[in-house]
């Protein structure tokens, strides 16, 4: 199934999901999916990643991504909406704002994740913004 430009309802549904299968693409076009916490703010969706994660490198090479609600292990249910997006690795200075956006949705778990991230150092995590294509 190929991701389409998101209709407003599908985009909202993806933003409300507890976990989202985030798919980015290798240089050869091979899709790589991983479950992430994602949170909406305005028309955009945000998440935090380890700054050295391969998904961050893939986004820098190709901003085209797809998103689909999933469970904690990345398993997607039949009929879950699949939407296309354009991802952007933000500056480290934007990461605290992205963390606040994510923490609004995930509250206690987001705060705990943020504490572990801060213990690793301020450059360990980076914010990712996804917008509609």
Q: Are 19 and 37 in contact (CB under 8 A)?
A: yes
Q: How high is the pLDDT of residue 6?
A: 61
User: Does 75 reside within a domain?
Assistant: yes
Q: Report the number of distinct structural domains present in the chain.
A: 1
User: Does 2 reside within a domain?
Assistant: no
| Whole-prediction pTM | 0.85
User: Does 56 reside within a domain?
Assistant: yes
Write down how long the chain is.
133
**pLDDT tens-place string over residues 5-27:** 668 899 999 999 999 999 999 99
CATH code for the domain in which residue 87 is found: 2.30.110.10
Q: Are 4 and 82 in contact (CB under 8 A)?
A: yes
The rounded distance, in Å, linking the Cα atoms of 3 and 26 is 16
Which residues constitute the domain of residue 115? 8-131
């Amino acid at each position: 199934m190929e991701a389409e430009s998101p209709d407003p309802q599908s985009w909202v549904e993806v933003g409300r999901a507890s976990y989202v299968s985030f798919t980015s693409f290798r240089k050869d076009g091979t899709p790589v999916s991983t479950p992430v916490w994602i949170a909406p703010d305005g028309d955009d969706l945000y998440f935090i990643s380890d700054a050295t994660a391969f998904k961050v490198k893939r986004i820098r090479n190709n901003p085209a991504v797809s998103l689909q609600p999933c469970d904690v292990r990345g398993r997607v249910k039949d009929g879950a909406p699949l939407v296309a997006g354009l991802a952007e690795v933000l500056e480290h200075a934007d990461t605290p704002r992205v963390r606040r956006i994510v923490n609004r949705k995930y509250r206690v778990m987001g705060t705990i994740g943020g504490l572990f991230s801060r213990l690793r150092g301020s450059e360990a995590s980076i914010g990712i913004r996804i917008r509609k294509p």
